[in-house]
Structure 1
Amino acid sequence: MNLKQISILGCGWLGLPLAKDFIKEGISVKGSTTSPDKIDILTQSGITPYLLTLGEASSATYLDFLSESELLIINFPPRRIPNITEVYQQQIRSILPYIGNNQKVIFISSTSVYENTNDWVTEIRHTQPEKESGKAVAAVEQILHTQLQHHLTIIRLSGLIGYDRLPGRFLANKKEVPNGDAPINVIHRDDCLGIIKSVINTNNWGEIFNGCADKHPLRKEYYTLAAEKIGLTPPTFSNHKDTAYKLISNAKSKEVLAYEYLHPDPLKLL
């Protein structure tokens, strides 16, 4: 896919470095933020900035943001509020009428749409989220799929790590943490960007891909070492034996996209 311009809805921790990578490749990027303080950051990065809050933006803003972009990347997670499933769907529906028939869309989703199976999970698994944020994401996936069909590709990312996201801080000093014997599912930001660009470069539309590191160390092993590496007190884990987990398979991303993970072993990143 030979792109001239992309619109990225959400230029935060993942969207901003993604935009910078596209600009290095000579692609123009329109990027949105909900924070006025970030407008200068986007401008300095070479991004055409938009102060845009879904559900509140004007028709003119939506049209301008999407105008002449061959691809829209929707990249913002649901907020942690009581009615997030309803709000998140309303937000997405507000921009749908302005997406052109010839525009491709990538939706950055989450593996939280899957239930714990105590087994491997692939993209063909029926989504049955257990938490409200996962329910919100699954509902939006369905809305986008119904509206866009073969113009849409969904990328379900596991837990995001890398750079300033230091997992050693997540559980440090906590006591009796459950599920210590559960395998973890995480993905480094470098690989998030790599999968997104691989979808574009291979022209894979109408698909769903999981994004996750190859290896799945145990939760207690990973978070203990992560805390120790940055000088924090490691968590302690409960002895409760009823472990609930899922193992996210990344096989499809490697087979269909021919993607080779840059950070296959989370333990080597600590």
Structure 2
Amino acid sequence: METVSILGVGWLGLPLAKRLISDGYQVKGSVTTAEKMELLQQAAIWPYQLIASPENLWVNDASFFNADVLIISIPPRRIPDIESIFPRQIGYLINELEKTDLKKVIFISSTSVYPDEGQQAVETDTLSPQKASGRALVEAENLFRQNSQFKTTIIRFGGLIGADRNPARFLARRKTAVDGRKPVNLIHQDDCIAIIREIIRQNIWGETFNACCPEHPTRREFYLRASLLSGIPAPDFEDGNEAFKIVNSQKLVRYLDYEFKFPSPLDYLNRTTI
């Protein structure tokens, strides 16, 4: 039985772990508090506690890293100096991985590594993110890419929707008008899980993939529909000239022969009650 360790069992990691268990994998999972470990046990996940601080990385049992595949699902936090703190934390993690026989890693990144320059964003683009969290992810990606002891596949997910995330809340607190013409770059949780499973199943390592719905409705189309379904007041929209990008996931579709469960974010709204 192959073992998969998931560093960061949260909104994405928990349903992913449950699906991998149903696929026949033994799954280990890490959380940051001892209280959450019981929740993992109840889901048949081997529980571990792992804390990454700016100074070091602590894990209650180093056997967490003894796995066939490690999935890293810990986005950079919105805190001061995250641009230097997050790559340092990833460096601590890589130091631990180099002590093991681990050969396969999946690093969950984000399409925030791309600037908004009116372009079709593809994996070979020069990266110049506008936010500190995006710059932190670029540095982390490079650390994994440069390591020759294991092969890392990097997945740059778009904005995450599905499960208990009500997209109508994403813009509900905006006090200024929103550019309604800007296209959205989103992906459903079910597609995230399916893509990770396919990468493991097909043994595709050392690659970088964008992962985003192939269709990109405008903010006005998507968020007005989400607001109508949920009863949450929609933000004010205007036809502005805000910079944008359209994330292209054709490499993923081609390499994995992947068919999106939700080709458009509107498919999610049309199939669910939020």
Following TM superposition, by how much is the alpha carbon of 1:95 offset from its aligned partner in structure 2, in angstroms? 1.6
Within-5 A mapping of 1:123-162: 123-148=123-148, 151-162=151-162
Q: Which residue of 1 aligns with 2:212?
A: 212
Following TM superposition, by how much is the alpha carbon of 1:146 offset from its aligned partner in structure 2, in angstroms? 1.0
Within-5 A mapping of 1:221-232: 221-232=221-232
1:251 and 2:239 are equivalent in the alignment: no
Contact kept, 8 Å, 1:150 with 1:205, in 2: the verdict is: no
1:77 and 2:75 are equivalent in the alignment: yes
Pick closer, same or farther for the CA change 1:169–1:77 going to 2, 3 Å: same
Q: Which residue of 2 aligns with 1:268?
A: 267
Give the SS at the match of 2:243. Answer: coil
Contact kept, 8 Å, 1:153 with 1:208, in 2: the verdict is: yes
Q: Which residue of 2 aligns with 1:91?
A: 89
Contact kept, 8 Å, 2:105 with 2:150, in 1: the verdict is: no
Pick closer, same or farther for the CA change 1:39–1:5 going to 2, 3 Å: same
Equivalent residue for 2:46, pick from 39, 45, 48:
48
Following TM superposition, by how much is the alpha carbon of 1:154 offset from its aligned partner in structure 2, in angstroms? 0.2
Following TM superposition, by how much is the alpha carbon of 1:59 offset from its aligned partner in structure 2, in angstroms? 7.0
1:29 and 2:27 are equivalent in the alignment: yes
Gaps of 5+ in 1: none
**1:136 partner letter:** A
Equivalent residue for 2:13, pick from 12, 15, 27:
15
Counting aligned pairs with the same residue, the percent is 42
TM-score, length basis structure 2: 0.92
RMSD in angstroms over aligned alpha carbons? 1.7
**1:251 partner letter:** Q
Pick closer, same or farther for the CA change 1:4–1:224 going to 2, 3 Å: same
TM-score, length basis structure 1: 0.93
- 1:243 and 1:58 mapped to 2: Cα distance? 42
- 2:246 and 2:117 mapped to 1: Cα distance? 8
**1:73 partner letter:** I
Over residues 183-239 of structure 1, what are the superposed CA-to-partner deviations in whole Å (9 max), with x where a residue is unaligned?
A: 100000000011111111111111001110111000122111111110111110234
Bigger proportion of residues as strand: 2
Q: Which residue of 1 aligns with 2:272?
A: none
Give the SS at the match of 1:52. Answer: strand
Number of residue pairs matched? 265
Gaps of 5+ in 2: 270-274
**2:74 partner letter:** F
Following TM superposition, by how much is the alpha carbon of 1:117 offset from its aligned partner in structure 2, in angstroms? 2.1
Following TM superposition, by how much is the alpha carbon of 1:175 offset from its aligned partner in structure 2, in angstroms? 4.3
- 1:114 and 1:127 mapped to 2: Cα distance? 6
- 1:244 and 1:112 mapped to 2: Cα distance? 13
- 1:53 and 1:59 mapped to 2: Cα distance? 6
Within-5 A mapping of 1:148-227: 148=148, 151-172=151-172, 174-227=174-227
- 2:267 and 2:24 mapped to 1: Cα distance? 33
**2:261 partner letter:** L
- 1:199 and 1:149 mapped to 2: Cα distance? 19
Following TM superposition, by how much is the alpha carbon of 1:4 offset from its aligned partner in structure 2, in angstroms? 1.0
**1:219 partner letter:** R
Following TM superposition, by how much is the alpha carbon of 1:269 offset from its aligned partner in structure 2, in angstroms? 1.6
**1:16 partner letter:** L
- 2:150 and 2:121 mapped to 1: Cα distance? 23
Following TM superposition, by how much is the alpha carbon of 1:98 offset from its aligned partner in structure 2, in angstroms? 2.4
- 1:234 and 1:102 mapped to 2: Cα distance? 47
Q: Which residue of 1 aligns with 2:105?
A: 105
Pick closer, same or farther for the CA change 1:254–1:149 going to 2, 3 Å: farther
Q: Which residue of 2 aligns with 1:38?
A: 36
Following TM superposition, by how much is the alpha carbon of 1:108 offset from its aligned partner in structure 2, in angstroms? 0.3
